[in-house]
Structure 1
Amino acid sequence: MKIFEMKEALNGLAAVNFCLPDGTQLPAHFHVTEVGLVSKHFIDCGGVERRETVANFQLWEAGDYDHRLAPQKFLHILKLSEKILGREDLEIEVEYQQATIGKFGLAFDGTDFRLTAKHTACLAQDACGIPADQQFALPQLQVAGCTPGGGCC
């Protein structure tokens, strides 16, 4: 999901809700503690220089149970973040504390924002000599009757 898509989604919401990939909803008292610009300049295993830039949101929860982030407040935070992010329509990456800081993609299902699983991959499979028949797809996880696209969140 990109910033413009998030702003459009927020404009039509009564409440802001986030769900983990397994369908678990984040507590309603979460905070957006950071909105930042993350740039990555790297060389892949095939020697190709690459750059990636994303808007990074950090979500956090504490004992502040009366806290609720309204859609208009979130839009205000995004407006303030333009000083850092600029006006480019960047892809959004979300950080959320679990056993360690998890990094997620972001999607919107019409009601809730869904944190989506991110995976590593070889960007230079030809250079590494990985045959196509030895590249494995990750299995789809099913948790307590929740299936991808099943609308359980």
Structure 2
Amino acid sequence: MKISEMKQALTGLEAVNFRLPSGEYLPAHFHVTEVGLVHKHFIDCGGTERQETVANFQLWEAGDYDHRLAPQKFLHILKLSEKILGREDLDIEVEYQQATIGKFGLRLDGQDFVLTPKQTACLAQDACGIPASEFALPQLQTTGCTPGGGCC
């Protein structure tokens, strides 16, 4: 989801709800503790230099169970964040604490914002020396396994 899509969605919502990929809702008393600009400058395993920039939202919950973030307040936070984010229509990445800090994508599902799983991947599959067949899980053999046979 891009910032412009979030702003548009917030103008039509009565409440701001976030849902984890599991379907579980974040507690209604969550806070948006940070809105930031994350710039990643890196080289992939094939030697290609890459850059990636996203708007990052950090969601957090405390013991203030009566707290509610209204859509208008969230829009105000986004307006204030333009000092950092600029006016570029960036993709949004969300951080939320679980067993460790989780990074998620974001989409709107009707009236709820849904945190979507992010996956790692090889960006240089053609250049890193791993055959395409190695990127898929191998078929397990149930009979005829011998030491050094490659099936177990």
Given the two structures, how large is their TM-score scaled by the length of structure 2?
A: 0.88
Give 1:35 shift. Answer: 0.1
5+ residue gaps in structure 1?
Answer: 138-153
Q: Which AA in structure 2 matches 1:87?
A: R
> Does 1:76 pair with 2:58?
no
Q: Following superposition of structure 1 onto structure 2, how do residues 1-153 of structure 1 map, counting pairs within 5 Å? A: 1-136=1-136
Q: What do you get for the CA RMSD once the two structures are aligned?
A: 0.9
Partner of 2:145: none
Q: Which AA in structure 2 matches 1:136?
A: A
Distance 1:28 1:56 in 2: 20
Larger Cα-atom Rg:
2
Give 1:110 shift. Answer: 1.6
Give 1:119 shift. Answer: 0.4
Deviations 1:120-149 (A, max 9, x none): 000011111222222238xxxxxxxxxxxx
5+ residue gaps in structure 2?
Answer: 138-152
Distance 2:128 2:23 in 1: 36
Give 1:75 shift. Answer: 0.2
Q: Answer yes or no: is the 8 Å Cα contact 1:9–1:110 preserved in 2.
A: no
Q: Which AA in structure 2 matches 1:68?
A: R
Given the two structures, how large is their TM-score scaled by the length of structure 1?
A: 0.87
SS in 2 for 1:96: strand
